[in-house]
Amino acid sequence: MKKIIDYVLGSLYLLYFGLTLVIFHPIQMVCFHLFGRRVHQKSVHVLNGFLLHGLYILGTRLSFKAKATLPTDRPVIFIANHQSMFDIVGMIWFLRNNFPLFVSKIELAKGIPSISYNLQKSGAALIDRQDGKQAIMEIARLAKLIEETKFSAAIFPEGTRSRTGVLKAFATGGVAILVKKAPNALVVPIAIKNTGKLNPKGIFPLSSFESLSWTVLEPIEPKGKTVDEIVELAKSSIENELKNV
């Protein structure tokens, strides 16, 4: 019975998801070309608000907790665990006051309504995993952008999604570049729970009646710490939060 419900509600949500992307694509274009990057990003926030709250179609429960107040007068580097594409949807919406821009694989910048356009225009770091030099330059460019604009950068140091929810090893390379090129940034870990349960087999079928949560953890002041220390502190903080029921 649960599988039947998943297929029916999942189909409805994916129809909603696709229509929302198509509708917001021209909205983004108008916002970017007429009003600039900041207004464009606000349209992206609204888009992701619709995508996130559309999960109520599936009976999904959403939770957001902040254990610290995030500054808006300095850039922020968000370090998060990664389970699903829905990690990003929640982060964009819940952290919208900090204008999060993501480190993303370059393949996503083509062919997907709304999503690809946002990646092209937002200033996100679009990295080619086969070209280390290009990846370094892109992340450095993003770091300089958030230093200038006081936006934020979001990175998943695991690199790829953990389908089980168990943390993979955290790579330090991307974080090192962000911290170096955005010296005024505050590092903030984000613990994301159960998004992998929503789409365990890819985009379809989706699992109904799951409980998803995003938690802002205690910030890490990078000054006086090595990158290894920063990443280990972030990972430990996320790991401890994921263990909490």
pLDDT digit string (tens) for 7-56?
899 999 999 999 999 999 999 999 999 999 999 999 999 999 999 999 99
pLDDT digit string (tens) for 120-144?
999 999 999 889 899 999 999 999 9
Residue 245 has pLDDT above 70, yes or no: no
- Using CA atoms, how far residue 64 sits from 48, 91, 187, 193, in Å, is 15, 10, 19, 10
**Cβ-based neighbour number of residue 223 at 10 Å:** 8
CA atoms within 13 A on the CB side of 17: 19
CA atoms within 13 A on the CB side of 19: 8
What is the domain count for the chain?
1
For residues 93-107, give the mean pLDDT: 96
Containing structural domain, residue 114: 2-243
CA dihedral angle for residue 190, residue 193, residue 195, residue 197, rounded to 10 degrees:
160
Those residues with Cβ within 8 angstroms of residue 22's Cβ, 6 or more apart along the chain or in another chain: 113, 114
For residues 222-228, give the mean pLDDT: 95
What secondary structure letter does DSSP report for 213? E
CA dihedral angle for residue 165, residue 170, residue 173, residue 175, rounded to 10 degrees:
70
Strand partners, 186: 76
For residues 145 and 110, the answer to whether their CB atoms sit within 8 Å is: no
pTM for the whole thing?
Answer: 0.94
pLDDT digit string (tens) for 50-95?
999 999 999 999 999 999 999 999 999 999 999 999 999 999 999 9
What pLDDT is recorded for position 159? 80
For residues 216-240, give the mean pLDDT: 96
